[in-house]
């Protein structure tokens, strides 16, 4: 078992262990102890693993899958379900699922009686490598994704790569979009350990596609250690943490223009990374060999092709991004091998690009 301590204002650990799902269930139960709890569980996970995760029916809130479920209406339902179960502020909410379940249950936990313990059990690759740790919670609004949310760290994260065996290919690949992001920003994460994730990805591509348990465990560990290093230094995203948005500004614009329906998040992140490399090349931050190298690595993961959208239209969406003041946008661009930095780019410049 790997334990990664997270030293944020409230400290907790991320545990990574390949273990039978029922053993994980016992761990969750013993962690919760004698607190009351409810479990927000993704419908798919409930169907596949419900028998191995025998939480009482009365405490299960089964959440339909899909980004559109991450909304205020479901948040209110979760809060009321917790009230119906008579949870006090000393009890707990457990999330078992992907990023949607985690972000939504985390948001509900952060406001339930002004904050209740929150336990994350991620079951998708994207949630394992990125969203389950670090304390970002959110719901979507009709104006865009994650526009309401809080920073609220979980009390513990239990990661079990065994869940990933049954993930459908597209969902699995969307997680790889975030993994590739970590490879290109590794050196900027200021972690005191060196992993060379770029090499790890090149050398283990086949095993990653085969979902080899050992390789997946190591891959998740590397991404979480990089993320934790960043989050510990900048928990509330006032500076360094913004590098985790590498590829995301473009990705959010494409997701919005396509109504969050056509592509998965990771597919758009992979395209956003390519866009950032092109922009960095134009600004002479990198040379063309590094760009070709990066494109080759991304190609190995065979992400779904993204249609080319009018940059003027995308730029208008970026103008409304959380990282924009309306005229300029804080863009994360590659600056050297495995490094990225933040640059302010004019919306006009992006329109013209």
Residue whose CB is less far from ligand GLY, 58 or 238: 238
CB of 30 to ligand GLY, least distance (A): 28
SS (H, E, C) the chain: CEEEEECCCCCEEEEECCCCHHHHHHHHHHHHCCCCEEEEEEHHHHHHHCCCCCCCHHHEEEECCCHHHCCHHHHHHHHHHHHHCCCCCCCEEEEEECHHHHHHHHHHHHHHHHCCEEEEEECCHHHHHHHCCCCEEEEEECCEEEEEEEECCCCEEEECHHHHHHCCHHHHHHHHHHHHHHHHHHHHHCCCCCCCHHHHHHHCHHHHHHCCHHHHHHHHHHHHHHHHHHHHHCCCCCCHHHHHHCCHHHHHHHHHHCCCCCCCHHHHHHHHHHHHHHHHHHCCCCCHHHHHHHHHHHHHCCCCCCCCCCHHHHHHHHHCCCCECCCEEEEEEEEECCEEEEEEEEHHHHHHC
Residue whose CB is less far from ligand GLY, 153 or 335: 153
Q: Which segment (1-9, 129-137, 263-271, 284-292) binds ligand GLY by CB under 6 A?
A: 129-137
Residue whose CB is less far from ligand GLY, 91 or 321: 321
| Residue 208 interacts with ligand GLY (CB under 6 A): yes or no | no
Residue whose CB is less far from ligand GLY, 46 or 342: 342
- Which of 106, 122, 134, 175 lies at the binding interface for ligand GLY (CB under 6 A)? 134
| Residue 314 interacts with ligand GLY (CB under 6 A): yes or no | no
- Which of 60, 155, 241, 274 lies at the binding interface for ligand GLY (CB under 6 A)? 241
- Which of 91, 117, 130, 255 lies at the binding interface for ligand GLY (CB under 6 A)? 130
CB of 244 to ligand GLY, least distance (A): 4
| Residue 136 interacts with ligand GLY (CB under 6 A): yes or no | yes
CB of 128 to ligand GLY, least distance (A): 13
CB of 130 to ligand GLY, least distance (A): 5
Nearest to 121 by CA among 108, 110, 131, 107: 131
| Residue 247 interacts with ligand GLY (CB under 6 A): yes or no | no
CB of 288 to ligand GLY, least distance (A): 29
Residues that contact ligand GLY, how many (by CB under 6 A):
6
| Residue 70 interacts with ligand GLY (CB under 6 A): yes or no | no
Residue whose CB is less far from ligand GLY, 79 or 224: 224
Q: Which residue is nearest to ligand GLY (CB)?
A: 244
- The footprint of ligand GLY (CB under 6 A) covers 130-131, 134, 136, 241, 244
């Amino acid at each position: 078992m790997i334990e990664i301590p997270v030293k944020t204002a409230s400290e907790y650990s991320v545990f990574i262990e390949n273990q039978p799902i029922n053993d994980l269930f016992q761990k969750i139960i013993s962690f919760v102890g004698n607190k009351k709890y409810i479990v927000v569980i993704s419908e798919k996970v409930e169907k596949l693993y419900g028998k191995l995760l025998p939480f009482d029916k009365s405490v299960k809130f089964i959440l339909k899958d899909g980004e559109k479920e991450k909304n205020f209406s479901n948040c209110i339902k979760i809060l009321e379900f917790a009230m119906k179960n008579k949870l006090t502020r000393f009890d707990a909410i457990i999330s078992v699922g992907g990023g949607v379940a985690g972000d939504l249950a985390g948001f509900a936990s952060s406001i339930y009686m002004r904050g209740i313990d929150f336990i994350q059990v991620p079951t998708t690759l994207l949630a394992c490598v990125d969203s389950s740790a670090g304390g970002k919670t959110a719901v979507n609004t009709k104006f865009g994704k994650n526009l309401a949310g809080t920073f609220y760290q979980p009390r513990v994260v239990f990661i079990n790569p065994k869940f990933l065996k049954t993930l459908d290919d597209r969902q699995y690949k969307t997680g790889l979009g975030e993994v590739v992001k970590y490879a290109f920003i590794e050196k900027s994460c200021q972690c005191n350990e060196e992993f060379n994730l770029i090499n790890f990805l090149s050398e283990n591509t086949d095993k990653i596609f085969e979902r080899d348990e050992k390789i997946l465990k190591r891959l998740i560990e590397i991404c979480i250690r990089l993320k934790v290093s960043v989050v510990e230094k900048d928990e509330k995203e006032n500076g360094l943490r913004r590098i985790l948005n590498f590829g995301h500004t473009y990705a959010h614009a494409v997701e919005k223009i396509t109504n969050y329906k056509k592509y998965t998040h990771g597919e758009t992140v992979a395209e956003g990374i390519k866009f950032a490399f092109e922009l960095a090349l134009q600004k002479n931050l990198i040379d063309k060999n590094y760009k070709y190298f990066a494109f080759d690595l991304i190609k190995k993961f065979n992400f779904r092709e993204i249609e080319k959208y009018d940059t003027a239209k995308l730029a208008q969406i970026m103008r409304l991004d959380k990282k924009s003041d309306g005229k300029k946008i804080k863009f994360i661009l590659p600056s050297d091998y495995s490094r990225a930095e933040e640059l302010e780019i004019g919306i006009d410049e992006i329109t013209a690009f």
